[in-house]
């Protein structure tokens, strides 16, 4: 009996050692990305202007990194909170932990060099080598033209500082360990010439991370590639309502296959009309997670390019119920 107990104790000891070794390997061996590049960006007016356009109307960084006011349709940023962060994303919307949008005003990123910010945006790794949960779609940003990322950095360096206390994000176990294996080096591309409308539209669709919301995910939260752009991903709102993303494929019955270019562009620009008044929305009423008021500032030629690219997406029949309520 004593011999059996010794063997069991020995085996348990091996298991403990292996577990500790595995944890140490994850802790010190990951994330596996290159060091931040040596980079000094010229904060020129042209860079800041382009960065403002991208951050507010294409990549919509300011959508998550501001306080969104969901008492209004599509939750526009609350005045005075631009870039200040603080929005909470947690289990109530199906996430494996509690995560907070960081302060990206100059006071919030003061301890980051330009190279560290570039690495953070394109790989999801902080300046102290911690991996971010991919709420920020850094895998998409990592495919963008570095010049566009430089423009965004120049812009957020230029906006007014807003002091804010942001709690630390915490992923649940074992996601906190899996997270360390997720970041990879960026694979940047050169921005296509806008005259190549389809290629430029594909670039903008990636920069806007359209596929992220408009594609169903597996139970593990992984995008299902064969269902790309067919909609059906659901987002819970407080009060038990559920908003589900639209089908953007060319299916004529359940997607946008019957839309012409003018209809598509108008779907966005209507929110920028001088006479448009954003409606108030009470809890339990239909709202949208899509930041329409921000995307409405996209240039018409860019919207037309996105439309041209979406016209190349194969039709997938997927009838979406856009809104359900527990009431």
Considering only CA atoms, give the Rg of the chain: 22
Local confidence pLDDT in tens for the 327 residues of the chain: 555 655 555 555 554 444 444 444 445 555 889 999 999 999 999 999 999 999 999 999 999 999 999 999 999 999 999 999 988 988 887 788 999 999 999 999 999 999 999 999 999 999 999 999 988 999 999 999 999 999 999 999 999 999 998 999 999 988 888 889 999 999 999 999 999 999 999 999 999 999 999 999 988 778 999 999 999 999 988 778 899 999 999 999 999 999 999 999 999 999 999 899 999 999 889 999 999 999 999 999 999 999 999 999 999 999 999 998 865
* Cα–Cα–Cα angle for 317, 322, 326, rounded to 5 degrees: 135
SS3 for 131? Answer: strand
CB-CB contact of 204 with 302 (8 Å): yes
Residues with Cβ within 8 Å of residue 66, at least 6 apart in sequence: 77, 78, 81, 82, 83, 84, 85, 87
Handedness of CA 174, 177, 181, 185 (dihedral sign): positive
CB-CB contact of 153 with 114 (8 Å): yes
SS3 for 88? Answer: strand
């Amino acid at each position: 009996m004593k011999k059996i107990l010794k063997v069991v104790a020995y085996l348990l000891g091996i298991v403990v050692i292996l577990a500790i070794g595995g944890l140490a390997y994850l802790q010190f061996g990951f994330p596996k990305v290159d060091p931040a590049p040596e980079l000094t960006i010229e904060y020129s007016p042209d860079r800041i202007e382009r960065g403002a356009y991208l951050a507010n109307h294409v990549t919509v960084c300011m959508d998550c990194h501001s306080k969104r006011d969901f008492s209004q349709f599509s939750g526009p940023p609350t005045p005075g909170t631009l870039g200040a962060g603080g929005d909470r994303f947690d289990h109530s919307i199906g996430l494996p932990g509690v995560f907070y949008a960081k302060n990206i005003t100059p006071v919030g990123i003061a301890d980051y060099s330009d190279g560290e910010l570039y690495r953070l945006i394109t790989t999801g790794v902080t300046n102290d080598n911690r991996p971010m949960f991919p709420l920020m779609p850094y895998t998409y940003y990592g495919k963008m033209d570095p010049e566009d990322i430089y423009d965004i950095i120049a812009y957020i360096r230029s906006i007014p500082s807003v002091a804010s206390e942001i709690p630390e994000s915490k992923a649940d176990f074992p996601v906190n360990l899996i997270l360390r294996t997720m970041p990879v080096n960026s694979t940047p591309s050169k921005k296509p010439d806008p005259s190549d409308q389809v290629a430029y539209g594909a670039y903008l669709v990636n920069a806007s991370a359209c596929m992220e919301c408009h594609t169903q995910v597996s139970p593990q939260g992984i995008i299902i590639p064969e269902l790309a752009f067919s909609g059906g991903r659901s987002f819970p709102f407080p009060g038990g309502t559920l908003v589900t993303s639209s089908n953007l494929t060319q299916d004529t019955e359940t997607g946008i296959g019957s839309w012409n270019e003018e209809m598509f562009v108008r779907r966005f620009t209507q929110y920028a009309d001088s006479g448009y008044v954003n409606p108030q929305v009470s809890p339990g009423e239909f709202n949208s997670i899509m930041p329409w008021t921000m995307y409405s500032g996209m240039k018409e030629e860019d919207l037309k390019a996105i439309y041209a690219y979406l016209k190349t997406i194969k039709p997938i029949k997927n009838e979406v119920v856009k809104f359900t309520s527990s009431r």
